[in-house]
């Protein structure tokens, strides 16, 4: 079974994800824009049983556009958001695709909250 390794900028918070993600999603919501400092975020969703977390994380809980809470977990040393728990899907953990730093990572299969997409962003996803 393939293992994928994700970690924060300083390496203090890391994850090992076994197998393939259940889905990869590109999110244009305003909170993902704020979380990433970019125009969108990309998440790989894994079953909780597929993820092993090492290191300390600080959590920030907020309401998502869906109306359900999300617990974002970031490194207390470097501030990188590495993963989050969407409380509407308690069996899943979402991992920031950028934390894998793997150009061969599977591409997003869908976009969400496209009403908040910046008009100049071209994304090759259906």
Q: Give the DSSP letter string of 73-101.
A: EE-TTT--EEEEEETTSTTEEEEEGGGG-
Taking the C-alpha atoms of residue 85 and residue 89, their distance in angstroms, rounded to an integer, is 8
CATH of span 3-116: 2.170.150.70
pLDDT at res. 5 = 98
Q: DSSP string spanning 31-76? A: HHHHHHTSS-EEEEEEEGGGEEEES--EEEEEE-TTSSEEEEEE-T
Place of tokens 């556009």: 65
Of 56-60, 67-71, 105-109, the least confident: 67-71
For the chain, domain boundaries: 3-116
Average pLDDT value for residue range 19-42: 93
Q: How confident is the model over 87-104, as pLDDT tens digits?
A: 999 999 999 999 999 999
Q: Is the pLDDT of residue 126 over 60?
A: no
- Gap between the Cα atoms of 45 and 88, Å rounded: 13
For residue 105, what pLDDT is reported?
Answer: 96
């Amino acid at each position: 079974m393939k293992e994928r390794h994700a970690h924060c900028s300083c390496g203090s918070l890391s994850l090992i994800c076994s197998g393939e993600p259940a889905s990869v999603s590109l999110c244009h919501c305003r909170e993902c824009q704020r979380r990433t400092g970019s125009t969108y975020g990309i998440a790989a969703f894994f079953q909780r049983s597929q993820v092993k977390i090492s290191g300390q994380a600080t959590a920030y809980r907020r309401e998502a556009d869906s109306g359900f809470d999300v617990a974002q977990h970031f490194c207390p040393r470097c501030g990188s958001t590495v993963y989050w728990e969407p409380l509407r899907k308690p069996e899943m953990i979402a991992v920031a695709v950028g934390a894998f730093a793997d150009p061969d990572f599977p591409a997003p299969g869908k976009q969400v909250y496209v009403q908040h997409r910046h008009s100049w962003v071209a994304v090759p996803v259906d």
